[in-house]
Structure 1
Protein backbone atom coordinates (compact mmCIF):
# COMPACT_ATOMS: atom_id res chain seq x y z
CA UNK A 1 0.00 0.00 0.00
CA UNK A 2 1.25 3.48 -0.83
CA UNK A 3 2.41 5.93 1.82
CA UNK A 4 -0.29 8.41 0.85
CA UNK A 5 -2.98 5.79 1.31
CA UNK A 6 -1.59 4.90 4.74
CA UNK A 7 -1.48 8.60 5.65
CA UNK A 8 -5.14 9.06 4.73
CA UNK A 9 -6.16 5.93 6.65
CA UNK A 10 -4.06 6.94 9.66
CA UNK A 11 -5.68 10.37 9.82
CA UNK A 12 -9.13 8.82 9.28
CA UNK A 13 -8.62 6.52 12.27
CA UNK A 14 -7.66 9.47 14.47
CA UNK A 15 -10.81 11.32 13.43
CA UNK A 16 -12.92 8.20 14.05
CA UNK A 17 -11.50 7.86 17.56
CA UNK A 18 -12.13 11.56 18.20
CA UNK A 19 -15.71 11.32 16.88
CA UNK A 20 -16.42 8.23 18.98
CA UNK A 21 -14.95 9.86 22.07
CA UNK A 22 -17.07 12.97 21.55
CA UNK A 23 -20.15 10.77 21.11
CA UNK A 24 -19.39 8.93 24.35
CA UNK A 25 -18.85 12.25 26.16
CA UNK A 26 -22.13 13.65 24.90
CA UNK A 27 -23.95 10.50 25.96
CA UNK A 28 -22.37 10.51 29.41
CA UNK A 29 -23.20 14.18 30.02
CA UNK A 30 -26.56 14.04 28.22
CA UNK A 31 -25.58 17.27 26.46
CA UNK A 32 -25.90 16.87 22.70
CA UNK A 33 -25.09 20.47 21.77
CA UNK A 34 -22.02 19.29 19.86
CA UNK A 35 -23.87 16.63 17.83
CA UNK A 36 -23.17 18.53 14.58
CA UNK A 37 -19.44 18.50 15.41
CA UNK A 38 -19.64 14.76 16.09
CA UNK A 39 -21.33 14.25 12.71
CA UNK A 40 -18.81 16.42 10.85
CA UNK A 41 -15.83 14.68 12.48
CA UNK A 42 -17.22 11.33 11.39
CA UNK A 43 -18.15 12.46 7.87
CA UNK A 44 -15.29 14.80 6.96
CA UNK A 45 -12.62 13.10 9.04
CA UNK A 46 -13.33 9.38 9.15
CA UNK A 47 -15.49 8.67 6.10
CA UNK A 48 -14.14 11.17 3.58
CA UNK A 49 -10.47 10.61 4.34
CA UNK A 50 -10.90 6.82 4.42
CA UNK A 51 -12.60 6.93 1.01
CA UNK A 52 -9.82 9.10 -0.38
CA UNK A 53 -7.24 6.71 1.07
CA UNK A 54 -9.06 3.82 -0.58
CA UNK A 55 -8.98 5.57 -3.94
CA UNK A 56 -5.27 6.37 -3.69
CA UNK A 57 -4.56 2.79 -2.58
CA UNK A 58 -6.48 1.38 -5.55
CA UNK A 59 -4.95 3.86 -8.00
CA UNK A 60 -1.46 2.87 -6.88
CA UNK A 61 1.29 4.17 -9.14
CA UNK A 62 -1.26 5.91 -11.37
CA UNK A 63 -2.19 8.33 -8.57
CA UNK A 64 -0.60 11.78 -8.98
CA UNK A 65 1.66 11.77 -5.91
CA UNK A 66 2.16 15.52 -5.43
CA UNK A 67 -1.54 16.21 -5.92
CA UNK A 68 -2.44 13.41 -3.47
CA UNK A 69 -0.20 14.86 -0.75
CA UNK A 70 -1.66 18.33 -1.41
CA UNK A 71 -5.12 16.80 -1.09
CA UNK A 72 -4.09 15.24 2.25
CA UNK A 73 -2.67 18.50 3.62
CA UNK A 74 -5.52 20.77 2.49
CA UNK A 75 -8.26 18.38 3.67
CA UNK A 76 -6.70 17.92 7.10
CA UNK A 77 -5.98 21.62 7.53
CA UNK A 78 -9.63 22.36 6.69
CA UNK A 79 -10.76 19.85 9.31
CA UNK A 80 -8.35 21.13 11.95
CA UNK A 81 -9.58 24.69 11.45
CA UNK A 82 -13.31 24.22 10.95
CA UNK A 83 -14.19 21.41 13.38
CA UNK A 84 -12.97 23.03 16.64
CA UNK A 85 -14.38 26.39 15.55
CA UNK A 86 -17.75 24.77 14.83
CA UNK A 87 -17.72 23.51 18.43
CA UNK A 88 -16.88 26.99 19.72
CA UNK A 89 -19.67 28.50 17.60
CA UNK A 90 -22.23 25.96 18.81
CA UNK A 91 -21.30 26.81 22.38
CA UNK A 92 -22.30 30.41 21.68
CA UNK A 93 -19.16 32.24 20.56
CA UNK A 94 -19.70 33.52 17.02
CA UNK A 95 -16.49 35.59 16.91
CA UNK A 96 -14.55 32.92 15.00
CA UNK A 97 -17.12 32.29 12.26
CA UNK A 98 -15.05 34.11 9.58
CA UNK A 99 -12.06 31.87 10.35
CA UNK A 100 -14.31 28.80 10.35
CA UNK A 101 -15.50 29.77 6.87
CA UNK A 102 -11.86 29.75 5.78
CA UNK A 103 -11.60 26.17 7.03
CA UNK A 104 -14.76 25.27 5.15
CA UNK A 105 -13.29 26.75 1.97
CA UNK A 106 -10.23 24.55 2.49
CA UNK A 107 -12.50 21.50 2.82
CA UNK A 108 -14.19 22.31 -0.48
CA UNK A 109 -10.79 22.93 -2.06
CA UNK A 110 -9.59 19.56 -0.74
CA UNK A 111 -12.55 17.86 -2.42
CA UNK A 112 -11.89 19.77 -5.65
CA UNK A 113 -8.25 18.62 -5.55
CA UNK A 114 -9.48 15.07 -5.02
CA UNK A 115 -11.75 15.44 -8.06
CA UNK A 116 -8.76 16.51 -10.15
CA UNK A 117 -6.82 13.47 -8.91
CA UNK A 118 -9.71 11.15 -9.80
CA UNK A 119 -9.99 12.67 -13.28
CA UNK A 120 -6.24 12.42 -13.71
CA UNK A 121 -6.29 8.71 -12.96
CA UNK A 122 -9.40 8.18 -15.12
CA UNK A 123 -7.65 9.70 -18.13
CA UNK A 124 -4.62 7.40 -17.90
CA UNK A 125 -4.70 4.13 -19.76
CA UNK A 126 -5.49 1.17 -17.50
CA UNK A 127 -2.46 -0.81 -16.41
CA UNK A 128 -2.71 -4.55 -16.94
Structure 2
Protein backbone atom coordinates (compact mmCIF):
# COMPACT_ATOMS: atom_id res chain seq x y z
CA UNK A 1 0.00 0.00 0.00
CA UNK A 2 1.47 3.36 -1.03
CA UNK A 3 0.46 6.62 0.60
CA UNK A 4 0.55 9.96 -1.17
CA UNK A 5 1.28 12.96 1.05
CA UNK A 6 -0.58 15.21 -1.41
CA UNK A 7 -3.71 13.06 -1.74
CA UNK A 8 -6.87 14.38 -0.15
CA UNK A 9 -8.06 10.87 0.73
CA UNK A 10 -6.09 7.75 1.69
CA UNK A 11 -6.96 4.09 1.96
CA UNK A 12 -7.24 3.18 5.64
CA UNK A 13 -4.71 0.46 6.52
CA UNK A 14 -5.63 -2.53 8.63
CA UNK A 15 -3.44 -3.32 11.62
CA UNK A 16 -2.19 -6.88 11.00
CA UNK A 17 -2.07 -7.65 14.74
CA UNK A 18 -5.58 -6.49 15.66
CA UNK A 19 -7.35 -6.73 12.29
CA UNK A 20 -8.83 -3.28 12.95
CA UNK A 21 -8.39 -0.09 10.92
CA UNK A 22 -5.34 1.92 11.99
CA UNK A 23 -6.03 5.64 12.20
CA UNK A 24 -2.65 7.24 12.83
CA UNK A 25 -3.04 10.31 14.99
CA UNK A 26 -0.69 13.07 16.07
CA UNK A 27 -2.05 14.92 19.08
CA UNK A 28 -1.02 17.91 21.15
CA UNK A 29 -2.14 17.25 24.72
CA UNK A 30 -2.20 19.80 27.54
CA UNK A 31 -3.46 18.89 31.00
CA UNK A 32 -3.49 21.19 34.01
CA UNK A 33 -5.11 21.49 37.41
CA UNK A 34 -6.97 24.61 38.55
CA UNK A 35 -7.06 26.18 41.98
CA UNK A 36 -3.62 24.94 42.93
CA UNK A 37 -1.82 28.28 43.02
CA UNK A 38 0.44 30.09 40.61
CA UNK A 39 2.78 27.14 39.87
CA UNK A 40 1.11 24.21 38.13
CA UNK A 41 4.28 22.38 37.03
CA UNK A 42 4.04 19.64 39.69
CA UNK A 43 0.54 18.78 38.46
CA UNK A 44 1.41 19.04 34.78
CA UNK A 45 4.37 16.72 35.46
CA UNK A 46 2.01 14.08 36.86
CA UNK A 47 -0.05 14.17 33.67
CA UNK A 48 3.06 14.03 31.48
CA UNK A 49 4.29 11.01 33.42
CA UNK A 50 1.08 9.16 32.47
CA UNK A 51 1.65 10.04 28.81
CA UNK A 52 5.28 8.93 28.90
CA UNK A 53 4.41 5.67 30.64
CA UNK A 54 1.94 4.85 27.84
CA UNK A 55 4.79 3.82 25.55
CA UNK A 56 3.46 5.93 22.68
CA UNK A 57 6.00 8.08 20.83
CA UNK A 58 5.89 11.49 22.50
CA UNK A 59 7.81 14.70 23.07
CA UNK A 60 7.17 17.53 25.50
CA UNK A 61 7.57 21.22 24.71
CA UNK A 62 6.74 24.38 26.66
CA UNK A 63 2.97 24.15 26.15
CA UNK A 64 2.02 20.63 25.04
CA UNK A 65 3.10 17.03 24.94
CA UNK A 66 2.84 15.75 21.37
CA UNK A 67 1.87 12.10 21.05
CA UNK A 68 1.52 9.75 18.08
CA UNK A 69 -0.38 6.49 17.75
CA UNK A 70 -3.68 4.91 16.81
CA UNK A 71 -6.65 7.19 17.48
CA UNK A 72 -8.06 4.94 20.23
CA UNK A 73 -4.70 4.79 22.02
CA UNK A 74 -4.19 8.56 21.82
CA UNK A 75 -7.68 9.26 23.16
CA UNK A 76 -7.09 6.79 26.01
CA UNK A 77 -3.79 8.34 27.07
CA UNK A 78 -5.27 11.87 26.94
CA UNK A 79 -8.14 10.72 29.17
CA UNK A 80 -5.84 8.85 31.53
CA UNK A 81 -3.58 11.92 31.89
CA UNK A 82 -6.58 14.13 32.73
CA UNK A 83 -7.94 11.54 35.16
CA UNK A 84 -4.61 11.52 37.01
CA UNK A 85 -5.39 15.03 38.27
CA UNK A 86 -9.18 14.86 38.33
CA UNK A 87 -9.15 11.74 40.52
CA UNK A 88 -7.22 13.79 43.11
CA UNK A 89 -10.21 16.12 43.27
CA UNK A 90 -8.77 18.97 41.20
CA UNK A 91 -10.73 20.84 38.60
CA UNK A 92 -8.80 19.76 35.53
CA UNK A 93 -8.51 21.14 32.02
CA UNK A 94 -7.63 19.07 28.98
CA UNK A 95 -6.70 20.70 25.68
CA UNK A 96 -6.50 18.24 22.81
CA UNK A 97 -5.66 19.04 19.19
CA UNK A 98 -5.41 16.07 16.80
CA UNK A 99 -4.41 15.40 13.22
CA UNK A 100 -5.85 12.02 12.18
CA UNK A 101 -4.16 10.84 9.00
CA UNK A 102 -4.67 7.23 7.91
CA UNK A 103 -1.67 5.53 6.39
CA UNK A 104 1.04 7.74 7.81
CA UNK A 105 3.32 6.97 10.74
CA UNK A 106 6.41 8.66 12.14
CA UNK A 107 4.82 12.10 11.78
CA UNK A 108 6.25 13.46 15.04
CA UNK A 109 9.58 13.68 13.26
CA UNK A 110 8.57 13.69 9.60
CA UNK A 111 6.31 16.77 9.76
CA UNK A 112 8.94 19.08 11.31
CA UNK A 113 11.59 17.68 8.94
CA UNK A 114 9.38 18.50 5.95
CA UNK A 115 8.91 22.08 7.16
CA UNK A 116 12.66 22.42 7.72
CA UNK A 117 13.30 21.13 4.19
CA UNK A 118 10.82 23.62 2.72
CA UNK A 119 12.36 26.47 4.67
CA UNK A 120 15.86 25.34 3.65
CA UNK A 121 14.88 25.35 -0.03
CA UNK A 122 14.08 29.09 0.08
TM-score by length of 2: 0.31
Structure ranking higher on relative contact order (CA contacts 8 Å, 6+ apart): 2
Structure (1 or 2) with the greater strand fraction: 2
